[in-house]
């Protein structure tokens, strides 16, 4: 599988379209993560201001639980925002969360599966997942048309199973 860093080409071609979550989905999660972290700092600061002999316990509890949860939510939302599929005429450039982007030629897509959650997963001949996307993502209708055109047999098999 070829990896793509975007800088290798002097003039990279523009994708036909991009399949990705709507920005509001991960921006809201980032905001919630930041609110949790700010809330943890404020609560920890009030513990210090009160000058209670056990304030360090309160500070530790607030920063580790609420602040830690906020950090987890924030960084998870960052990785959600990076996930996308760039669709070109004969291949895809797939980036899943924190992984490097990889090039997936249309000819490598051996199987398409429609999952109960509204997801569509593409696999190669060895059964490895090449991409996974949801029907509600931005650009999915165009991607579905592209898949029907580039992988008609796999699309028909997926539809016949109940996709």
What tens digit of pLDDT does each residue of 27-61 get?
Answer: 999 999 999 999 988 888 888 888 777 778 878 88
User: 10 lies in a domain?
Assistant: no
Instruction: Using DSSP, state whether 95 is helix, strand or coil.
Output: strand
pLDDT for 107-140, tens place per residue? Answer: 999 999 999 888 999 999 999 999 999 999 999 9
Do 70 and 97 share a structural domain?
no
Do 90 and 115 share a structural domain?
yes
Instruction: Using DSSP, state whether 39 is helix, strand or coil.
Output: helix
CA distance 156 to 54: 66
CA distance 8 to 122: 26
User: 96 lies in a domain?
Assistant: yes
pTM above 0.85, yes or no: no
Instruction: Using DSSP, state whether 45 is helix, strand or coil.
Output: helix
Residue 132 sits in which domain range? 83-161
């Amino acid at each position: 599988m070829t990896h793509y860093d975007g800088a290798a080409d002097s003039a990279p071609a523009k994708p036909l379209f991009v399949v990705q979550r709507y920005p509001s989905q991960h921006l809201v999660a980032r905001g919630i993560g930041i609110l949790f972290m700010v809330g943890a700092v404020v609560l920890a600061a009030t513990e210090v201001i009160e000058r209670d002999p056990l304030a360090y316990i309160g500070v530790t509890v607030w920063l580790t639980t609420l602040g830690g949860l906020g950090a987890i939510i924030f960084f998870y939302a960052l990785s959600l925002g990076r996930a996308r599929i760039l669709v070109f005429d004969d291949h895809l450039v797939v980036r899943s969360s924190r992984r490097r982007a990889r090039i997936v030629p249309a000819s490598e897509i051996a199987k398409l599966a429609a999952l109960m959650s509204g997801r569509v997963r593409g696999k190669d001949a060895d059964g490895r997942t090449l991409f996974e996307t949801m029907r509600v993502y931005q650009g999915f209708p165009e991607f579905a048309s592209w898949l029907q055109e580039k992988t008609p047999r796999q699309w028909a098999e997926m539809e016949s199973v109940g996709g």
